Every structure is written in C-alpha cells, then in structure tokens.
Structure 1
C-alpha cells in the first residue's frame, strides 16, 4: 500500500515536470520576443559589403519587421555601410533573419538571452557558421 502511494507520487511528479517543460518552451519564444522587441542588438552576423566585413545593429520592430544598420569595421574605413530592412520571427528557440533575395537566410539557433547578451549558433542557408553573441545597446 505504501509502495502504491510512492509510485503515484512519482507519476504525479513526472506528469507535472512534463507539463512545466512543455509550457516553458512555449513561454521561451514569447519571452525571447519580449526581450528583442523595441531594442537594438549589435554584433557580427558574418555579413559583408563588398570586400569588407560589417557589424550589424538590428532594431527589432513589431509585426516581424526589423532594421539592420550595418557599419564597417576600422579596416573597412569605419562609418555606416548600409541600412537594410528584414523580416524576423522566432520558432522553437530559433531566431530567423530574412534579408530577402540576394542574402542568405540567417538562423540563430538555441537563442539564449542573459542580461544584455543574446547567444546562439549562427547558420546561413542551413550551414553552421559560428557561435554568435549580440549585445543589447538600447
């Protein structure tokens, strides 16, 4: 009889754990969205303008719309390179950045935000590039 109580308690704990994990994964996408929206995140997304690498400053707007203000690094002369519009969305802890035709489809998989830093693995057209860190500046 006592073994049945312990077994039932373990089953209940297991069901609750599965429910919490299931709900938290749904909340993660929502909380990531809330952390991104209305803020600017700066970092290297592996993009270049001509022969020069650029740093992206993505400001996430509502309605899956964002603006990327790209700046040359010092070796490219510094200063603003381009301003691009892009579509973005989050699905299953992956942040998708769609710059449109002529650009690779970027994914930041395993997105994790801690304080002012967003970390994940950058993929371009499904091919792993490098671990990426973006810093929130506003």
Structure 2
C-alpha cells in the first residue's frame, strides 16, 4: 500500500505525514512528491558507504531519508551508529556465522541504518537513494 493507510494499517508515508501534521506541516501523500518538496535541499547518495556517512553527518533530526519505495525520518548519530524512525516491515541482522536472522515486525520502530533490509542482503545505509533536508526548508516557509 503506497501513500496510504487506514485506521488499522499505516505505511511509512502516512507515518511521516502524521508526524509533521502535528506541527502544522502538511506533506504530499506520495513519496515521489515528498522527495521533490521545495524549498528543501535534496542530496543524492553516492555509492561509497563512507561518503554516505558524510552526508548523514550533515543532516538534522527530522530530515527525511528515501530508499526505493520507502521513507524514514533521520534521528541522528549516537556513537558510531546513525538512527532512523519509520514504519516498516522489518529488518535482518547478520549472525556471527554469517547467516542472516530476519525480524518481521510490521510496525513503527527505531533502528540503526547498519541493519539489513528484510528482503535483501543490503544494509539500510547502503540502500539510501536521497536525503531531503526538510528541516532546512521548513525554516524558509
């Protein structure tokens, strides 16, 4: 379900919309349009993980992170980990033996970007495609 939600089932987009709505900010219903909001600054993520971390270091709490078909809110860095909050389906962690263990959550959760997406062997960090400095844009409105 993209860009929707109901009383009993809220997707990532509706979750982000509801957070900003609490502060009188109404975001578009489609992630494509959230990623194209003006006057927010948009930053495409490069391929290299270390370059991605440099971009994350320049974000503020509340900025948006996009990956294919998904949006998350950046919370910040604690220690060496970058954290997000989002409505998602789950994630995977790598076991000491190299196997993956999946956690099928279907809910709202806070997590580091170093965990793996539920449906691939790629971390959330390496799956990011776009950062939107929405907090910067909101200061200009």
For Structure 1 versus Structure 2, the TM-score category normalised by the shorter chain is under 0.3
- CA radius of gyration, larger in: 1
TM-score normalised per structure 1: 0.25
Structure ranking higher on relative contact order (CA contacts 8 Å, 6+ apart): 2
TM-score normalised per structure 2: 0.25
Higher strand residue share:
1
